[in-house]
């Protein structure tokens, strides 16, 4: 039997984690099988997965949701029907967060792109700053959503703060040291403080980003985002570099 351990498991000291079964499945099939996946249509649904099934007769193995509109009145993250149905039908759930923050102090406009805002990730870790007040409130809202998954017994492959070293998102503008602190802050908030035990943590690598790695105690999987790649050789090279 394959013996594995999650970062969450290390922090909580418990082997009885909902995510462990999924993590073992991924480890056992690494290099053997490829799992297909779809991304939700903007937010919290299986719309794209349904489109794939309609046109192919097959469901993807995984479906990814995004907490991009958390806190907006038009976004309903409390309706877990599609997520529960997906899991009950042997689908794997992933989640990411294009974290929209105020573009400036006191502004109602929000964005996740660095070029569009003045949000300082270093300040976000300093109590008393407006940036810190915002992320502390937002993380509590996230906890409510993630605990819905936990209560329903649904493990989540969790991919926050992606593509950081690229610098185009606000969480990547403070350099590697600040980024690592931000990642560990989130991990400690969700896992240690709120005891969320159903997450499999995915860190997304870029190029020349060794100093951005949060550490083995905070990461379960390393992934890589690639766009508009027509060359299988280039993709294989990136895959090898990430191992």
Alpha helical stretches, state H, 76-224 = 81-88, 130-151, 175-187
CA 186 – CA 88 distance, rounded (Å): 28
The count of other CB atoms within 10 Å of the CB of residue 45 is 18
User: Which regions in the chain score pLDDT beneath 70?
Assistant: 1-3, 15-16, 238, 242-243
Residue 222, Cα to own-chain centre: how many angstroms?
A: 12
Measured at the CA of 237, the angle between CA 234 and CA 243, to 5 degrees, comes to 145
CA 145 – CA 138 distance, rounded (Å): 11
Alpha helical stretches, state H, 58-205 = 81-88, 130-151, 175-187
CA 226 – CA 221 distance, rounded (Å): 16
pTM check: above 0.85 = yes
**Count, residues in the chain:** 243
* 101 Cβ contact list (under 8 Å, min separation 6): 110, 111, 112, 117, 119, 131, 134, 135, 138, 170
The DSSP H or E segment spanning 223 is strand 221-224
CA 208 – CA 224 distance, rounded (Å): 13
- The confidence score (pLDDT) of residue 16 equals 61
């Amino acid at each position: 039997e394959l013996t594995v351990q999650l970062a969450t498991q290390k922090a909580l000291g418990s082997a009885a984690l909902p995510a462990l079964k999924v993590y073992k499945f991924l480890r056992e099939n690494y290099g053997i099988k490829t799992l297909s996946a779809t991304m939700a249509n903007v937010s919290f649904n299986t719309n794209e997965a349904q489109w794939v099934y309609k046109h192919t007769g097959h469901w993807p193995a995984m479906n990814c949701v995004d907490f991009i509109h958390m806190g907006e009145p038009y976004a309903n993250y409390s309706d877990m029907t599609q997520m529960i149905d997906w899991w009950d039908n042997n689908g794997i759930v992933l989640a990411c967060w294009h974290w929209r923050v105020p573009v400036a102090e006191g502004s109602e406009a929000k964005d996740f792109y660095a070029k569009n805002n003045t949000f300082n990730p270093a300040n976000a870790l300093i109590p008393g700053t407006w940036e810190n007040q915002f992320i502390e409130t937002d993380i509590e809202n996230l906890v409510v959503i993630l605990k819905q998954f936990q209560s329903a017994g649904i493990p989540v492959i969790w991919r926050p703060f992606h593509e950081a070293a690229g610098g185009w998102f606000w969480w990547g503008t403070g350099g590697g040291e600040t980024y690592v602190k931000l990642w560990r802050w989130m991990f400690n908030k969700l896992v240690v403080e709120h005891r969320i035990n159903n997450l499999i943590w995915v860190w997304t690598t870029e190029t020349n980003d060794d100093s951005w790695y949060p550490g083995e105690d905070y990461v379960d999987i390393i992934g890589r985002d690639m766009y508009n790649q027509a060359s299988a050789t280039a993709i294989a090279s990136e895959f090898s570099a990430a191992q």
